[in-house]
A and B are shown apart, each in its own frame.
Chain A
Amino acid sequence: MKRHLKLILLFIRATVQIQLEYRSGVFGRTLANILSTGTSVMLLWAMFRQVPSIGGWSFDQVLVLVGIVTTIEFVVEIWFYPSLSKITTYVQRGEFDVLLIKPVASQFLVTFRHLQVMELTGLVIGLTVIGVGMHRVGSVTSFNILLLAIFLVASVVIIYSLYLALSTLAFWFTRIEEVASMIWLHSTAGSFPVAAYPPWARLLFTFVLPVAFVTNVPAQAATGRLSWEWGLGALAFATFVFCGATWLWNLAIRNYSSASS
Chain B
Amino acid sequence: MPIIHVDHLCKDYQVHQKEPGLAGSLRSFVRRKYQIVPAVKDVSFEIAQGEIVGFLGPNGAGKTTTLKVLSGLLYPTSGRASVLGFTPHERKAEFLKSITMVMGQKQQLAWDMTPGDSFLVNQAIYDVPDQDFRQRVGELTDMLELQPVLKKPVRKLSLGERMKCELAGALLHGPKILFLDEPTIGLDVNMQQAVRTFVADYNRRTGAAVILTSHYMADVEALAERVLVIDGGRLAFDGNLSALVAERAPNKVLKLQLAQPVSPERLAVFAPVRMIEGLTAELLAPRGNVAEIAARILNDVPVADIAIEDMPIEEVLGRLFQRKPMAEAAK
- Near B by CB (< 8 A), chain A positions 1-31 give 3, 6-7, 10-11, 13-15, 17-18
Inter-subunit contact A3/B124 (CB<8 Å)? yes
Q: Return chain B residues, CB-CB under 8 Å to A17.
A: 113, 117
Question: What is the distance, in angstroms, from A199's C-beta to the closest C-beta of chain B?
Answer: 35
Inter-subunit contact B73/A14 (CB<8 Å)? no
Question: What is the distance, in angstroms, from B63's C-beta to the closest C-beta of chain A?
Answer: 12
A 218-261 to B, binary, CB cutoff 8 A, 1 in contact else 0: 00000000000000000000000000000000000010011111
The docked-state distance in angstroms from the alpha carbon of A216 to that of B103 is 48
Inter-subunit contact B68/A11 (CB<8 Å)? no
* With contact pairs A102-B96, A261-B39 given, residues A6 and B73 touching in the complex (Cβ less than 8 Å): no
| A150 CB–B CB distance under 8 Å | no
Q: Which of B104-112, B213-221, B241-249 contacts A (4 or more CB under 8 A)?
A: B104-112
- A18, A101, A257, A260: residue with the most chain B Cβ atoms closer than 10 Å: A101
- Near B by CB (< 8 A), chain A positions 123-148 give none
Q: Return chain B residues, CB-CB under 8 Å to A254.
A: 75
* A-B contacts, 5 listed (Cβ < 8 Å): A10-B124, A94-B106, A103-B94, A259-B13, A261-B39
Binding site for A on B (CB under 8 A): 13-14, 39, 65, 68, 71-75, 89, 91, 93-94, 96-97, 99-101, 103, 106-108, 110, 112-113, 117, 120-121, 124-127
Inter-subunit contact A3/B127 (CB<8 Å)? yes
Binding site for B on A (CB under 8 A): 3, 6-7, 10-11, 13-15, 17-18, 94-95, 97-98, 100-104, 254, 257-261
Picked from B73, B107, B121, the residue with its CB within 8 Å of the CB of A101 is: B73
Inter-subunit contact A100/B73 (CB<8 Å)? yes
Inter-subunit contact A100/B91 (CB<8 Å)? yes
Inter-subunit contact A18/B126 (CB<8 Å)? no
Picked from A14, A95, A102, the residue with its CB within 8 Å of the CB of B125 is: A102
Q: Which residue of A lies closest to B89 (CB)?
A: A257
The docked-state distance in angstroms from the alpha carbon of A6 to that of B65 is 34
* With contact pairs A98-B106, A261-B65 given, residues A10 and B117 touching in the complex (Cβ less than 8 Å): yes
The docked-state distance in angstroms from the alpha carbon of A67 to that of B205 is 60
The docked-state distance in angstroms from the alpha carbon of A18 to that of B75 is 38
Q: Which residue of B lies closest to A93 (CB)?
A: B106
* With contact pairs A14-B117, A261-B65 given, residues A101 and B124 touching in the complex (Cβ less than 8 Å): no
The docked-state distance in angstroms from the alpha carbon of A15 to that of B96 is 26
Q: Which residue of B lies closest to A109 (CB)?
A: B125
The docked-state distance in angstroms from the alpha carbon of A136 to that of B298 is 108
Q: Return chain A residues, CB-CB under 8 Å to B72.
A: 100-101
Inter-subunit contact B110/A6 (CB<8 Å)? no
Inter-subunit contact B14/A101 (CB<8 Å)? no
Closest 5 CB pairs of A and B: A103-B96, A103-B93, A258-B75, A14-B113, A7-B124
The docked-state distance in angstroms from the alpha carbon of A232 to that of B272 is 88
Q: Return chain A residues, CB-CB under 8 Å to B113.
A: 14, 17
The docked-state distance in angstroms from the alpha carbon of A261 to that of B71 is 13
